[in-house]
Amino acid sequence: MEIPVAERLESIRTTLPQGVELVAVSKFHPVEKLQEAYAAGQRAFGESRVQELLSKTPQMPSDAVWHFIGHLQTNKVRALVPVVNVIQSVDSIRLLELINKEAARIDRVVDVMLQVHVAQEETKFGFSPDELCAELTPELVDRLKSVRIVGVMGMASNTDSESRIEQDFGRIAATFARLKKGVMANHPEFSEISMGMSDDYEIAVAYGATIVRIGSDIFGEREY
Ligand SMILES: *Cc1c(COP(=O)(O)O)cnc(C)c1O
């Protein structure tokens, strides 16, 4: 028998330390499942496709909080910016500039996170740690008034090797620390490390995650 979403949520919440936020990754799940999670107190949802997010937001209560976690194409930014709360997957300066421009156009400030690529798979998006630390200059951070850079986001390699996963999460956390000491030093809002999914979130938390993004452990196998 299938375990109800509320029960799955509760058992995950009990394993998370205080102060670690759970984003329920609801991509490829019907909105009924999201409503079940909402009824169980869940407010933050993660989606990886703009069209899917746009179709779900009007069907959910207005205090749901929407995190975009997928690769964002520049031609979708204009549609996403009015409805999203946090764009976690900013993987280029060009995209950051564009989000800023679209947010300014509608007089909004959007929370964003910078995606760090440390995994062994080449297909994953994101800045390398050195690239990010070089490209995110103080001038840029000052100039972009319509985005609030609240942290970094990353994924570990898709592997059974626990030591490789630990190494990856360690590198994401170290990149956060470099920026926090450097260009983001006077930015208290820069405070989040988003890492950890269903299979590896406990390791991520041990390495300093402040946000975990969990899908299948809450909603089961993706339905479409
Ligand atoms: C799908 C996805 C998740 C959730 O993955 P699960 O293994 O289902 O928990 C987390 N982060 C990102 C970026 C994803 O695309």
Q: Is the pLDDT of residue 222 over 80?
A: no
Q: Return the ligand 1 atom nearest residue 198 CA.
A: 9
Confidence of residue 221 (pLDDT cuts 50, 70, 90): confident
**Average model confidence (pLDDT) across the chain:** 96
Pocket of ligand 1 (CB under 6 A): 25, 27, 48, 69-70, 155, 197-199, 213-217
Amino acid making up residue 23:
V
How far does the centroid of ligand 1 lie from the alpha carbon of residue 80, in Å?
Answer: 19
CB atoms under 10 Å from CB of 54, counted, come to: 17
| Average pLDDT over every residue of 21-47 | 97
| Average pLDDT over every residue of 189-207 | 98
User: What is the reported pLDDT for 147?
Assistant: 98
What are the helix (H) ranges across 21-160? 31-39, 50-56, 77-80, 93-105, 129-135, 138-143
How far does the centroid of ligand 1 lie from the alpha carbon of residue 156, in Å?
Answer: 11
Confidence of residue 124 (pLDDT cuts 50, 70, 90): confident
Q: Return the ligand 1 atom nearest residue 153 CA.
A: 13
Q: Which residues contact 110 (CB under 8 A, 6 or more apart)?
A: 81, 84, 85, 86, 87, 99, 103, 146, 147, 148
User: What is the reported pLDDT for 2?
Assistant: 81
Q: Is the pLDDT of residue 223 over 80?
A: no
Interatomic CA distance for residues 177 and 138, integer angstroms: 16
Both tokens of 64, joined, read: 């749901």
User: What is the reported pLDDT for 60?
Assistant: 98
Q: Return the ligand 1 atom nearest residue 213 CA.
A: 10
Confidence of residue 11 (pLDDT cuts 50, 70, 90): very high
Q: Is the pLDDT of residue 76 over 70?
A: yes
How far does the centroid of ligand 1 lie from the alpha carbon of residue 139, in Å?
Answer: 33
Proportion of the chain above pLDDT 90, given as a percent: 95
| pTM for the model | 0.97
Q: Is the pLDDT of residue 224 over 80?
A: no
Provide the pairing of β-strand 65-68 with 86-90.
parallel
Q: Is the pLDDT of residue 185 over 90?
A: yes
Q: Is the pLDDT of residue 122 over 90?
A: no
Which residue's CA is the closest to the ligand 1 atom numbered 13?
69
User: What is the reported pLDDT for 1?
Assistant: 66
| 3-state DSSP assignment of residue 25 | strand
Among 197, 203, 205, 217, the mutation site with the greatest number of ligand 1 atoms within 8 A of its Cβ is: 197
Q: Return the ligand 1 atom nearest residue 214 CA.
A: 9
* CB of 129 closer than 8 Å to CB of 174: yes
